[in-house]
Amino acid sequence: MTKLSMHEQLPFDEDATASPVSTGDLPRPDEVRAMVTEAYERYRANVDGHVADYIPVLAKASPSWFGISVVGVSGKSFEIGDVATTFSIQSVSKPFVFALVCDAIGYEEARQRLGVNSTGFPFDSLMAVELNVDRTMNPLVNAGAMAATSLAPGATAAEKWERIRDGLSRFAGRELSVDEEVYVSESATNLRNQGIAHLLESYGRLYFDPDQATDIYTRQCSLGVTVHDLAVMAATLANGGVNPLTGEEVVGRGVCRRVLAVMATAGLYELSGDWLYEIGVPGKSGVSGGIVTVSPGKGSLATFSPPLDPAGNSVRGQLATKYLAERLGLNLFSSAAASRD
């Protein structure tokens, strides 16, 4: 499979489009509506990528599903496409569980116990080159994510699971529940994750029973969400940890900005650098086709479309997010020259 280049697929020249800069607010609701509709129409016919099938039930997803949701920190939202379709949250759960763990044990201790770097290797490490994909030690790849899950408060597996389910529900502003079909399918095929958990335990880097930690992690990934749920969860991270719909403080401000820092460096698997280069906002993708992006102080964008690129990131989701990040003024690195009088 050829690696998709977002740049090749996006021939417009942002220097010529008067992109909004990264400060200020989202554009007016009617402008957001027009831009999101345009992005949806522009990419819905794209047929690149493949639906994940390494978890058997995920292969049932329709390659044509495509939904986009934008939620501002004011709570105003706009969405289009397959917005009522429920899918499993998968890896998009990871930054939110990390946030809950930081809130519970402190972000400094979380950093010590989980790591927050892209590779975890020194700058001149040959090992980093050899092992980058599997040995990155931060809470957004499986090893660190399972370690984060194992740190969820609670003495028993049931207590830890309830803490995670409840916390993710507070991010979403509604009660989330497990998609049992996904949970059963993933539990039957997650030998690799079980292996990672046992390996971590051997290094003293897992903080609960490895089989139970893997099970809680699998439930966490199987929580059913819509693209709107993802956008509300991400908007909470854009709003200093306060859910803009319910008004509830889910995590503290200091936690929020540190979670976003890790999302910026590691949210899109091994293409996180390309993502930051092109799109310029913290993001997180998952194998069922969800992507969240967070624009601090402005709002969030969530996309859902199951066909993935070889790294496991939704193809339509990346294209629509790139297009909208330019037009909605999300890119954190975007500036324009100040006027000189």
Q: Footprint of ligand GLU on this chain (CB under 6 A)? A: 90-91, 142, 186, 193, 221, 286-287, 312
Report whether 171 contacts 98 (CB < 8 A). no
Nearer to ligand GLU, 40 or 87 (CB): 87
Task: Find the shortest distance in angstroms from Cβ 302 to ligand GLU.
Answer: 15
Per the structure block, which two tokens stand in for 287?
Answer: 């194998």
Per the structure block, which two tokens stand in for 244?
Answer: 């803009």
The three-point CA angle 165-103-216 to 5° equals 30
Beta-carbon contacts of 13 under 8 Å, excluding residues fewer than 6 positions away, are none
Nearer to ligand GLU, 193 or 331 (CB): 193
Nearer to ligand GLU, 91 or 243 (CB): 91
Number of residues that make up the chain:
341
Distance, in Å, from the CA atom of 192 to the CA atom of 189, rounded to the nearest integer, reads 8
Task: Find the shortest distance in angstroms from Cβ 164 to ligand GLU.
Answer: 14
Distance, in Å, from the CA atom of 133 to the CA atom of 309, rounded to the nearest integer, reads 15
Task: Find the shortest distance in angstroms from Cβ 43 to ligand GLU.
Answer: 21
Task: Find the shortest distance in angstroms from Cβ 287 to ligand GLU.
Answer: 4
What SS3 state is found at 67?
A: strand
Beta-carbon contacts of 8 under 8 Å, excluding residues fewer than 6 positions away, are none
Nearer to ligand GLU, 167 or 329 (CB): 167
Using Cβ positions, the residue closest to ligand GLU within the complex turns out to be: 91
Name the residue among 113, 57, 117 with its Cα closest to residue 90: 57
Burial of 93 (0-12, 13-18, 19+ CB in 10 A): buried
Nearer to ligand GLU, 243 or 321 (CB): 321
Task: Find the shortest distance in angstroms from Cβ 61 to ligand GLU.
Answer: 13
Nearer to ligand GLU, 7 or 192 (CB): 192
What spatial distance separates the first Cα and last Cα of the chain, rounded to whole Å? Answer: 53
Task: Find the shortest distance in angstroms from Cβ 215 to ligand GLU.
Answer: 12
β-strands 77-81, 87-88 pairing: unpaired
Nearer to ligand GLU, 107 or 183 (CB): 183
Task: Find the shortest distance in angstroms from Cβ 286 to ligand GLU.
Answer: 4
